Chain A
Amino acid sequence: MNKLDIVAPSTKGGRLHEATPHDSAIKQVAGRAEYVDDLTEPEGTLHAYLGLSTRAHAEIASLDLEAVRQAPGVVGVLTTEDVPGENDVSSVHKHDEPVFAETEVRYWGQPIFCVLGETRDAARRAAKLARIEYRDRPAVISVEQSLKAGGALVTEPMTLERGDVDAGLAQSKHRAKGKVTIGGQEHFYLESQVALAIPGEDDEVYLHVSTQHPTEIQVMVAQVLGIPHAAVTVNMRRMGGGFGGKETQGNIFAAIAALGAKTFHRAVKLRPDRDDDFQITGKRHDFVVDYDVGYDDDGRIQAVQATYAARSGFSADLSGPVTDRALFHCDNAYWYPAVKVNSLPLFTNTVSNTAFRGFGGPQGIIGCERWIEHIAYALRKDPLEVRKANFYGTDSNNITPYHQTVEDNIIHRIVDDLERSSDYQARRQAVLAFNREHTVLRKGIALTPVKFGISFTATWHNQAGALVHVYRDGSIHLSHGGTEMGQGLHIKVAQVVAEAFGVPLDHVKINATNTGKVPNTSATAASSGTDLNGMAALDAAEQIKARMHAHAARIYEVEPGEVAWEFGGIRAGQQFVPFMQLAESCWMNRVQLSAAGFYATPKIHWDRASGRGHPFYYFAYGAACAEVTIDTLTGEYQFDRADVLEDVGHSLNPAIDLGQVEGGYIQGVGWLTTEELWWDDKGQLRTHAPSTYKIPVASDVPREFNARLADWSVNKEPAIGRSKAVGEPPLCLAMSVVEALSMAVASVADYKVHPNLDMPVTPERVLMGVERMKREIAR
């Protein structure tokens, strides 16, 4: 991390496209930003705690909760019998995700009952007193076990196909066949799941939930309680991190808190301990990718056939769309003359895997980059050369496996730019020289690209609403359907609204997301938060502006064309009217100063059955170059340098976007290196807390880390401010580290053998890879 600019950057900002600090930054550093567990509880709030299964798959032979009920401080117990509505919180309405297990448990850590106590400690202690007898049933834990047991699926698989793959493979001069295992990932949002439910009159209930999807919480609570959606209000100010882990995984906690609140007529808070959060909630899907790829002497791919098998866990949850997105990214930035890829969302007796930043896309890309690497080693070429040989064209060779034409391809420029700025070629030569001179330490370097499709592939999710009020003093109330989890959505949308009205940023008051203000929202997910909600908020602002504009023309007796918006107010003919004065004047003249905005992404459509359509509005591009050093005696490694270049179009807020790029990249690096999920042979997750599950710390960051935005890029589509989505694409760039580690390992056998490292590439996997290389030379 040299060349650090430690002079405070200019952070005033505030206008659109300017670097502006996160709206909550001051509150956060002062400890005054409130998260759900920090809210002042209503008097008499009860605390709920969950009793969990200690079997991966078993029949519940008996359930004796008497000791739980009798424990000190306990007010009551809830089981499946207490559910007035449906005992189900399946986000995709498959009815496969019970709130409480009924007669069978299907993963270790599945909630069976809930105890409510006067304190959290009392409830938690009581939960341990349950006497549960099980009759064990056979459990399938891993992808391999699932395939061996017949490969039951949790949801419909998908196939993408274009061209004649069989012929393409048969006619190829070379074939790369292989298999790669990609591990899962725990979200490790610093704030664990939490819900606070407050009972209202009649059937009403009001909830504060740490969730990316307030509407879904509302729907699930209504379903479990058997009440209309309109009786449930969900409020969300901010999360302490989400990363996809709070897209559907908050449902069960909110539903149980609401059930407790309505049953006992007291507010109920439910916050699991970190270890229980690890056990109960889903993670990133781990995948096993099998591939067979045909290519020519130059490394040009002729045909790709691959199967993406995923550990989905005990229920469907989002495994369908996640495995779909893996297939949508099996091409990454490359054109395939012929391709056929299948998904296998496999049932396992593990927690139900779910959304996680990238949503299957990173796994799709990793599979693809693995066969590119495989080809490069087979041909003894720099993998970057093979990559360039296969990039999508701009005017031809630009049809994806799902028959969408890539219309905005900038991958060549992105990679050229980074190749130069990172000095890749010279450094690669230096790495090769280093490896000739060193025995114990070896180095690797790699440059990998990303093309990431932006839009929910379930087309109907690509809609958003916003509610904007202008008050008489010129202050502006902003609500929209998106949720804030640290990514800076709120500040970016506030910048959009401030810019639209031409007022300073501090005139815009950011409000909590609330289902009572903006209904029927989509999850804040798929990197789409700003694209969707920014446009919806702009729509609301433009409606109000149009009325104010017409009013100004009327009252100052000028033609509408003589009214112009300026920063701080409006110019009507010769007269300048400050915004506040205009607002007051509108009110006095009965002009509505409130509007609901709406946006639906244009151009997109998708037919899953035929595997054809235009699922993505546009693509975001990026590239990263990573350099590492490994210790061939222990497999330990260090991250020497990373150069990252990300295309965010015309950034709405470069400071926020750069934070997403750096943070996403490091989160991806953690996933692919030290973050290992380890189940024992009974199906219990033993990496259950930060003591055993290792996300990156400060010293895992590359010693030199140069991340930047492609400031020359502008979105070809008229997205908000011509910007692009930023949340997920940078995470995929972490593949560069895996490939750098791979090169360092391969050096042991003079790069003649492709190491095919599985992920996460822990020190153990590096050392075992080194040993394989040694055996190869000895042969």
Chain B
Amino acid sequence: MSGATNMLRFILNDEEIAISEIRATETLLDYLRLTRRLRGSKEGCAEGDCGACTVLVGRLRGGELSYETVNACICFVGMLHGTHVVTIEHLSPASGPLHPVQQAMVDFHGSQCGFCTPGIVMSLYGLWMQTPRPSVPEIEVALQGNLCRCTGYQPIVKAGLAMSQYGAVEADPLLLHRTQMVARLEALRDGRTVDIGEGRNRLIVPASVDDLAEIYAANPGGTLVSGATDVGLWVTKFMRDIGPMIYIGHLPELQTITETEGALTLGAGITYTQARVAVVKHFPQLAELWDRIGGGQVRNAGTVGANIANGSPIGDTPPPFIALGAHITLRRGNERREVKLKDFFIAYGKQDRQPGEFVESVTIPYLPAGEKFACYKVSKRKDEDISALCGAFRIFVNDDGVVGMVRIAFGGMAATPKRAKAVEEALLGKPWTAATVEAALPAFAADFQPLTDMRASKEYRMLAAQNLLRRFQLETTGAAERLSRAVA
């Protein structure tokens, strides 16, 4: 490992911050509210669901600076090395005019109690910088991670539609001073690993993936953190000590997107947002699912690799990736091995991952010509909810109409994401018809014994899972009907 520094550096609004003493699990929200006394960002849930704490984080990636919304409540300060953090206080001077997004919110009566409002403004601001004239669906996606209990959202959506009338995005200070900010951020990074504190309170920000491999092999009890969209809750809800905390979300080597002839390989540190274009290009059937993973703030922080490594039975990406025959690459020190994703999940909370080993990438083979594929997420609320169940279906139907290959995987139906092997067997070699599907439905009971919990009953999970197979058959034979919020 190259020489380490004990200085964590980032820029907060206009101010350069250098920190040499900080708890590994100090959240950005606590840092803002308690240490910096910047109290515009609010704590509504401390679990990344309500968005009242939304801030923008500007990150340099390949020389490009992009600002994305982040939930400060589950973002550790240690994750901010070399970034530009922008809070609500930065949008307008105390005595000066409001920012265009803010003025639109005032004029359209977008705030009532006002507690969610700073977060909403930041989410609209983030949208405005990228899409100054958004459509209603684009605004709805941008607001997925922001809860408002007062307004019923209509005034906020109207403010979003109107915001470009209040000022030119080109005149926005963050964009005007982008070049200078890039230089300032580059100056913060000296290529050294950041290593602060010790024991359970140690924070490590490796300078490279090789440093990471070395550090993690030496500290296999440490916790790897990329987006902290789950680990954040271990701290804010369960008050667990997770140190040594090893942050990996910034490592460019883990943020590669490789499109070979046969497969898409995503570095484990790729956020959902970063991966979206490539994923949707190769797997357009995943577009809807992708936009329903958490809210925008979660997709800007959470990573594909961690969604897998986490091992949750209700993660959104494992079912489609298993159905597509994906494999992951695990690395420990300089040793690497490949594991089929379907074999990675052993039992609840248990994966095929050795101490010191980390997920380096996931490789998803493209859908061979002629195959059909679909993925359906079912949840109580359409957006920003965790699956009650999620089913992924992939099939090849021979010229004679007979099922030549079938892969089906579900989340939410067992203790792990799981293949539906009995159902697959019941379909294989049969004509791809409604009658075959009906005959295969009893096989679900051999594959799954789902549980009842607060998201759904076992009866509902089973019935909906069977119906998703019915839907897949209908859709692949041309009789498709799906809910769509698009205006007819």
Interface pair B114/A486, CB less than 8 Å apart: yes
Interface pair A1/B114, CB less than 8 Å apart: no
Q: Give every chain B residue within 8 A of A439 (Cβ-Cβ).
A: 481
Docked CA distance A189–B484 (Å): 30
- Answer whether residue B144 sits at the interface, using C-beta atoms and an 8 A cutoff: yes
CB proximity of B152 to chain A, nearest CB, Å: 3
Q: How large is the interface on A (under 10, 10 to 19, 20 to 34, 35 or more residues)?
A: 35 or more
Interface pair A28/B114, CB less than 8 Å apart: yes
Q: Mark A1-45, 1 if CB is under 8 A from B, else 0.
A: 110111111010000000001101111111111110110100000
Given A31-B89, A698-B140: A676 touches B380 (CB 8 Å cut-off): yes
Q: Name the residue on A nearest B384 (C-beta).
A: A697
Q: Name the residue on B nearest A26 (C-beta).
A: B106
- Answer whether residue A687 sits at the interface, using C-beta atoms and an 8 A cutoff: yes
- Answer whether residue A421 sits at the interface, using C-beta atoms and an 8 A cutoff: no
Docked CA distance A440–B474 (Å): 10
Interface segment among A76-84, A333-341, A627-635: the answer is: A627-635
- Answer whether residue A576 sits at the interface, using C-beta atoms and an 8 A cutoff: no
Interface pair B483/A691, CB less than 8 Å apart: no
Interface pair A9/B107, CB less than 8 Å apart: yes
Given A190-B52, A666-B153: A691 touches B386 (CB 8 Å cut-off): yes
Interface pair B158/A767, CB less than 8 Å apart: no
CB proximity of A772 to chain B, nearest CB, Å: 12
Interface segment among B39-47, B77-85, B218-226, B333-341: the answer is: B39-47
Interface pair B109/A190, CB less than 8 Å apart: no
Given A30-B92, A633-B471, A691-B386: A8 touches B107 (CB 8 Å cut-off): yes
- Answer whether residue A380 sits at the interface, using C-beta atoms and an 8 A cutoff: no
Docked CA distance A188–B89 (Å): 25
- Answer whether residue A663 sits at the interface, using C-beta atoms and an 8 A cutoff: yes
Interface pair A699/B383, CB less than 8 Å apart: yes
Interface pair A698/B157, CB less than 8 Å apart: yes
Docked CA distance A631–B37 (Å): 49
With beta carbons under 8 angstroms apart, the residue of B44, B107, B162 that contacts A274 is: B44
Docked CA distance A480–B291 (Å): 47
Interface pair A698/B139, CB less than 8 Å apart: yes
Interface pair A631/B113, CB less than 8 Å apart: no
CB proximity of A191 to chain B, nearest CB, Å: 5
Docked CA distance A240–B91 (Å): 21
Interface segment among A390-398, A456-464, A599-607, A700-708: the answer is: A700-708
- Answer whether residue A155 sits at the interface, using C-beta atoms and an 8 A cutoff: no
Interface segment among B187-195, B354-362, B453-461: the answer is: B453-461
Q: How large is the interface on B (under 10, 10 to 19, 20 to 34, 35 or more residues)?
A: 35 or more
Docked CA distance A20–B151 (Å): 16
- Answer whether residue A441 sits at the interface, using C-beta atoms and an 8 A cutoff: yes
Interface pair A6/B158, CB less than 8 Å apart: yes
CB proximity of B113 to chain A, nearest CB, Å: 3
Interface pair A486/B150, CB less than 8 Å apart: yes
- Answer whether residue A298 sits at the interface, using C-beta atoms and an 8 A cutoff: no
- Answer whether residue B449 sits at the interface, using C-beta atoms and an 8 A cutoff: no
Q: Mark B370-397, 1 if CB is under 8 A from A, else 0.
A: 0000001010111111101000000000
Docked CA distance A486–B150 (Å): 7
Given A190-B115, A703-B487: A690 touches B152 (CB 8 Å cut-off): no
With beta carbons under 8 angstroms apart, the residue of B104, B151, B239 that contacts A128 is: B239
For window 294-343 of A, CB contacts with B under 8 Å fall at none
Q: Name the residue on B nearest A2 (C-beta).
A: B487
CB proximity of B90 to chain A, nearest CB, Å: 9
Interface pair B98/A699, CB less than 8 Å apart: no
- Answer whether residue A260 sits at the interface, using C-beta atoms and an 8 A cutoff: no
Docked CA distance A534–B152 (Å): 26
CB proximity of A653 to chain B, nearest CB, Å: 10
Docked CA distance A30–B96 (Å): 11
Interface segment among B197-205, B302-310, B462-470: the answer is: B462-470
Q: Mark A645-667, 1 if CB is under 8 A from B, else 0.
A: 00000000001101100111111
- Answer whether residue B50 sits at the interface, using C-beta atoms and an 8 A cutoff: yes
With beta carbons under 8 angstroms apart, the residue of A31, A663, A764 that contacts B151 is: A663
Interface segment among B59-67, B116-124, B404-412: the answer is: B116-124
CB proximity of A639 to chain B, nearest CB, Å: 9
Docked CA distance A239–B464 (Å): 41
- Answer whether residue B485 sits at the interface, using C-beta atoms and an 8 A cutoff: yes
Interface pair A21/B106, CB less than 8 Å apart: yes
Q: Give every chain A residue within 8 A of B50 (Cβ-Cβ).
A: 190, 690
Docked CA distance A443–B106 (Å): 36
For window 680-698 of A, CB contacts with B under 8 Å fall at 686-687, 689-692, 694-698
Given A662-B155, A694-B381: A11 touches B113 (CB 8 Å cut-off): no
- Answer whether residue A550 sits at the interface, using C-beta atoms and an 8 A cutoff: no
- Answer whether residue A638 sits at the interface, using C-beta atoms and an 8 A cutoff: yes
Q: Give every chain A residue within 8 A of B110 (Cβ-Cβ).
A: 29
CB proximity of A575 to chain B, nearest CB, Å: 38
Q: Give every chain A residue within 8 A of B94 (Cβ-Cβ).
A: 30, 32
Docked CA distance A634–B462 (Å): 11
Interface pair B381/A4, CB less than 8 Å apart: no
Interface pair B114/A243, CB less than 8 Å apart: no
Interface pair B140/A665, CB less than 8 Å apart: no
Given A29-B102, A31-B41, A633-B468: A697 touches B115 (CB 8 Å cut-off): no
Interface pair A697/B487, CB less than 8 Å apart: no
- Answer whether residue A499 sits at the interface, using C-beta atoms and an 8 A cutoff: no
Interface pair B460/A633, CB less than 8 Å apart: no
Docked CA distance A664–B89 (Å): 30
Q: Give every chain A residue within 8 A of B118 (Cβ-Cβ).
A: 28-29, 31
- Answer whether residue A487 sits at the interface, using C-beta atoms and an 8 A cutoff: yes
Interface pair B483/A701, CB less than 8 Å apart: no
Docked CA distance A651–B41 (Å): 34
Interface pair B46/A273, CB less than 8 Å apart: yes
CB proximity of A88 to chain B, nearest CB, Å: 30
- Answer whether residue A221 sits at the interface, using C-beta atoms and an 8 A cutoff: no
- Answer whether residue B428 sits at the interface, using C-beta atoms and an 8 A cutoff: no
- Answer whether residue A203 sits at the interface, using C-beta atoms and an 8 A cutoff: no
Q: Give every chain B residue within 8 A of A29 (Cβ-Cβ).
A: 98, 102-103, 105-106, 110-111, 114, 117-118, 121
- Answer whether residue A771 sits at the interface, using C-beta atoms and an 8 A cutoff: yes
Interface pair B161/A6, CB less than 8 Å apart: yes
Docked CA distance A666–B482 (Å): 24
CB proximity of B167 to chain A, nearest CB, Å: 12
Q: Give every chain A residue within 8 A of B386 (Cβ-Cβ).
A: 691-692
- Answer whether residue A637 sits at the interface, using C-beta atoms and an 8 A cutoff: yes
- Answer whether residue A238 sits at the interface, using C-beta atoms and an 8 A cutoff: yes
- Answer whether residue B231 sits at the interface, using C-beta atoms and an 8 A cutoff: no
Interface pair B143/A697, CB less than 8 Å apart: yes
Q: Mark B128-160, 1 if CB is under 8 A from A, else 0.
A: 000000001001110110111111111111100
CB proximity of A449 to chain B, nearest CB, Å: 20
Q: Give every chain B residue within 8 A of A243 (Cβ-Cβ).
A: 149
Interface pair B487/A240, CB less than 8 Å apart: no
With beta carbons under 8 angstroms apart, the residue of A4, A27, A690 that contacts B147 is: A690
Q: Give every chain B residue within 8 A of A21 (Cβ-Cβ).
A: 106-107, 109
CB proximity of A746 to chain B, nearest CB, Å: 19
Interface pair A35/B88, CB less than 8 Å apart: no
- Answer whether residue B165 sits at the interface, using C-beta atoms and an 8 A cutoff: yes
With beta carbons under 8 angstroms apart, the residue of A121, A441, A694 that contacts B380 is: A694
With beta carbons under 8 angstroms apart, the residue of A6, A275, A441 that contacts B162 is: A6
Interface pair B460/A767, CB less than 8 Å apart: yes
A-B contact pairs, 15 of them (CB 8 A): A4-B158, A7-B162, A9-B107, A21-B107, A22-B112, A22-B114, A31-B40, A31-B121, A121-B30, A190-B113, A440-B474, A633-B464, A633-B470, A696-B153, A697-B144
Excluding A29-B105, A697-B295, 9 further A-B contacts by CB distance (< 8 Å) are A27-B114, A28-B111, A28-B118, A30-B88, A30-B91, A37-B43, A658-B109, A691-B45, A763-B388
**A-B CB proximity, top 7 nearest:** A31-B40, A486-B113, A240-B115, A28-B114, A666-B152, A31-B88, A486-B112
The residues of A with any CB-CB pair to B shorter than 8 Å are 1-2, 4-9, 11, 21-22, 24-35, 37-38, 40, 121, 124-125, 128, 187-192, 238-243, 273-275, 438-441, 485-488, 629, 631, 633-638, 655-656, 658-659, 662-667, 674, 676, 678, 686-687, 689-692, 694-701, 703, 705, 707, 762-764, 767-768, 771
